[in-house]
Structure 1
Amino acid sequence: MSSGGHEVVFTFSYETWDDAVHRGMMRPPDRLAAALIADPEVREVIIANPYRWLPTLAARRAVARGARFPDLAGRHLVQPWRVRDRRDPLDPDALEARYRAYGDALGRAARRAGQRSPVLLTTHPLVAGFARPEWASRVVYFGRDDWTSYPGRSEFWPAYREAYRRIAASGMPVAAVSAQIVERIAPTGPGVVVPNGVEVAEWIGPEPEVPAWFAAVPGPRLVYVGTIDDRLDAEGVAVLARARPDVSVVLLGHVAAPDHLAPVQGIPNVVVHPAVGRTELVAVLRAAEGALVAHRVTPLTEAMSPLKAYEYLAGGAPVLSVDLPPMRDVDDRVLLVPRVEDFAGAVDELLALGRADEERRLRFVAENSWESRHRAVFDLLYDRANVSG
């Protein structure tokens, strides 16, 4: 590792390094952590997991669970722990005390690593809003979702709103995957939009062999990739599938809410397949005739930068999407319609676009690389002169 000058502390939000590795380092925080570890300009970096309850950590260690962290000079993984309260408290004062203690734990880890004046890059809104890390020379918040509209954590919405207020008032720089998140935080300091991207190495090279299960699906095949939960408009997908029995709709991903698939049960041209590894996913998207962003329109989805859309286009598939603000102006091979139930009327136009030729596909990959996205975040983090608020 070359001797760069930067000292960085990075925190995940609610997931850990283990989680990132097990899902293939695919989400924006995962990619940021990996980029910091690999960056030769970074002398010392601490990757910090969120708080964990000590009995849970002990149980995991007893069965030797955990992903290997890179054994490199100046690269450290830390796991702050607590003895009391398995879950975050709802009381505002107790919650603030919890995250100030977490910030203090990070400061101790930084001192142990020999960091003198580190910068803090956090993807956790409560760390950004409440931790008050006086040991950090600069704090940058990276928003991958709008937590104030995240359904699974609605009990903490008031805390997230307060965290946003404090982030804004502090003048802290903010990077987020969509303009909507930046607007909802309304930072008084610099704010930049950094959409999702693609890993160049995954999408170049000869076309991979199509998985046997996908090759057996009758074409044309329209693919939706992602966790099957309440973001997916399953009722709209059912309308599409019944209106266009000549196409196959493939729902590819972990089914987090099985009941949510009830509207498509028994429809012969809907194929539900479990999540696959990255290599197989790339092979599917480099063969699919079309791809879908079949989301409900909600405050959460209106603020998302759908990673799937960038990977669809990197694979060469034209995209049919609901009209969400972050989907506008991504690429002219994205067709936007108001609702998923209206998709059937746009299928012929989608298929007429065809798969992108290699020159165009590779140009999209190069122009939307994670490397270019990270450059914008690191410009904020290191307060480089070419950053404007």
Structure 2
Amino acid sequence: MPSRTGADSVPQHLSHVLLFWFGDDWGVYGRTYEQIATTLSRCHHVQQVLVVLPSSKGETLTTSLQIVSDRLAVARLYWRPGGISPLRLRSLGSLLKLQRERFALRRQIRSLGFRERNTLLWLFPPHPVLDELVRQVPAAARIIQIVDDFTLVDKTDWYYPFAVDQYPRLGSIADLIAVTSKANEQKFSSQAACVRIDQAVSSAFLAEPTDFQPAGAQPVLGYVGTFWDRTDVELLRRIALERPHCRLLLVGPELNRRLSDSGLLGLGNVEWLGSLPNDQVPMQLKRMNLCLIPHLDTPFSRSMSPLKLFQYIASGKPVVSSAVEGLELAGDLIRIEKDPARFLQAIDEELASDSPEKFRARVAFAAAQTWESRVERILAALPVQP
């Protein structure tokens, strides 16, 4: 079992943490909620962390419980709303199944020792059943965490109506709101106590000093992340066309057709691996000589803190990024360029000037950006409960 950590992180009376995430992707991308749940399960005073995800394949709480460790479990909840309105037409069978899940949730958390006096409820909105969860789960304290601002996505995305409905009311729910960007801090700090944290990195991404390899005649330029509205696919295409001696290695899922329709994937020096399990990403980072953050500067991207930044730096590789928010902490270690021509020039310069000393400095920086330190910061900001 991993060593216990964060002796003073969690107030001693909050020994049970119930965390609700809005997607069913545990073990896939290593997202923020997964790192926080795992970190909390290693804190001294925590007896149980239960992560509850929305069911994606019709699972129920009683059929889906996954024991990750003696203090960490994951379950899928059948709770499928058709929209934000409480007046929804459902079949009798669906209504009965939903009611059974409500009772099952109460039984499950009580069987694991959750009581109002010892429970910390950690919610990631926009969550389709946020209000229902607040009513159903008595808790001594509630933390709301905002990763991205989903009021800024396309209005056809399922996140959008829930975000528009829930975000203005978070102050009435939360004892603390945790955010990962300056824009979100400005947006939510007027509602409740608010703490801003950066993303962090798992130790699995940390390179060894012997991993340094100088770029050869065909450098590998890499991007890891989701391809969607924030990704500057045209910049990636320009890199591939104007640096034909470089290979472009792309890792991550596509949420719309912009990548597939761009013509980028048909170029001979481009390799797209699609979505990979998070534990396979460090191996792909080792193949890269330089890492890219080609994000568009939009209101949505300004609400983010790119997790890939810390994963890249942990691999020891040089990083070239477009000028977006969330890079300040590592600003001295990466190249940030607003102009596409300067972006390409920065790639050439960073490849030519890389060294074992720079490699080690990046890894050393990343080693200090732990999830333990981020969780400590969030919990230190939680108002003390009686």
- Cα 1:13–1:339, aligned 2, differ >3 Å: closer, same or farther? farther
Q: CA deviation at 1:177?
A: 1.8
1:309 paired with 2:303, answer no
Closer, same or farther: CA 354–76 of 1 in aligned 2, 3 Å: closer
Match for residue 92 of structure 2? none
Superposed counterparts of 1:1-389, under 5 Å: 5-16=13-24, 19-21=25-27, 23=28, 26-50=30-54, 52=55, 56-57=58-59, 68-70=66-68, 72=70, 75-82=72-79, 86-91=80-85, 109-116=108-115, 117=117, 118-126=119-127, 131-133=133-135, 135-151=138-154, 154=157, 156-169=159-172, 172-205=175-208, 207=210, 219-257=218-256, 260-261=259-260, 262-278=262-278, 280-338=280-338, 340=340, 343-355=343-355, 357=357, 358-381=359-382, 383=384
Check whether the contact 2:68–2:74 (CA below 8 A) recurs between aligned residues.
Answer: no
1:171 positional shift: 5.9
Change (3 A) 1:79 1:277: closer
Provide the C-alpha distance between the structure 1 equivalents of 2:184 and 2:87, rounded to a whole number of angstroms.
26
Which whole-Å CA distance do the structure 2 matches of 1:193 and 1:75 have between them?
Answer: 26
CA distance in 2, matches of 1:172, 1:264: 46
1:29 is matched by which residue type in structure 2? Y
Structure 1 residue 230: Cα displacement = 3.6
TM-score normalised by L of structure 1 = 0.78
Aligned-pair Cα RMSD in Å: 3.7
Are residues 76 and 238 of structure 1, via their aligned partners in 2, closer, same or farther at CA, if it must alter by over 3 Å?
closer
SS of 2:191's equivalent in the other structure is: coil
For the 8 Å contact 1:129–1:167, the answer to whether it is kept is no
CA, structure 1 residues 114+255, in 2 after alignment: closer, same or farther (shift >3 Å)? closer
Any conservation in 1 of the 2:125–2:166 contact (CA below 8 Å)?
no
Report the Cα distance in structure 1 between the residues aligned to 2:254 and 2:217, rounded to whole angstroms: 22
Could you tell me how far 1:296 is from its partner in structure 2? 2.3
1:286·1:316 contact (CA, 8 Å) conserved in 2?
A: no
Partner amino acid, structure 1, of 2:259: H
After alignment, is 108-117 or 174-183 more displaced?
108-117
Deviation at 1:256, TM superposition (A): 4.3
CA contact (8 A) 1:240 1:341 kept: no
Query: 5+ unaligned residues in a row in structure 2: which ranges?
Result: 90-94
Query: 1:97-129 CA deviation, whole Å, 9 max, x = no partner?
Result: x9xx99997555433433331121111334656
**Structure 2 partner of 1:387:** none
Q: Cα distance, 1:81 vs. partner? A: 2.8
Report how many aligned residue pairs link the two structures: 362
Structure 1 residue 165, shift from structure 2 partner: 1.2
Using the TM superposition, name which of 186-195 and 141-150 deviates more: 186-195
Change in Cα spacing, 1:76 to 1:153, as seen in structure 2 (3 Å) is farther
What is the CA–CA distance in structure 2 between the aligned matches of 1:10 and 1:158, rounded to whole Å? Answer: 25
C-alpha deviation, 1:42, in angstroms: 0.5
User: What SS is found at the alignment partner of 2:245?
Assistant: coil
Q: Which structure has the highest helix share of the two? A: 1
- 8 Å CA contact 1:10–1:33 kept in 2: the answer is no
* Matches of 1:321 and 1:147, distance apart in 2: 23
Which whole-Å CA distance do the structure 1 matches of 2:323 and 2:171 have between them?
29
Of 221-230 and 122-131, deviating more is: 122-131
Q: State the distance in 2 between where 1:209 and 1:289 align.
A: 9
Counterpart-to-counterpart distance in 1, 2:311 and 2:268: 27
User: Amino acid of the residue matched to residue 283 of structure 2?
Assistant: A
Q: Taking structure 1 as reference, are residues 324 and 104 closer, same or farther at Cα in structure 2, changes over 3 Å only?
A: farther
Q: Which moved more, 1:349-358 or 1:171-180?
A: 349-358
Contact 2:232–2:296 (Cα < 8 Å) also in 1? yes
SS at 2:308 equivalent: helix
Gaps of 5+ in 1: 385-389
| TM-score under structure 2 length normalisation | 0.78
Distance across 2 between alignment mates of 1:209 and 1:87? 50
Query: Are the structure 2 counterparts of residues 38 and 149 from structure 1 closer, same or farther at C-alpha, using a change threshold of 3 Å?
Result: same
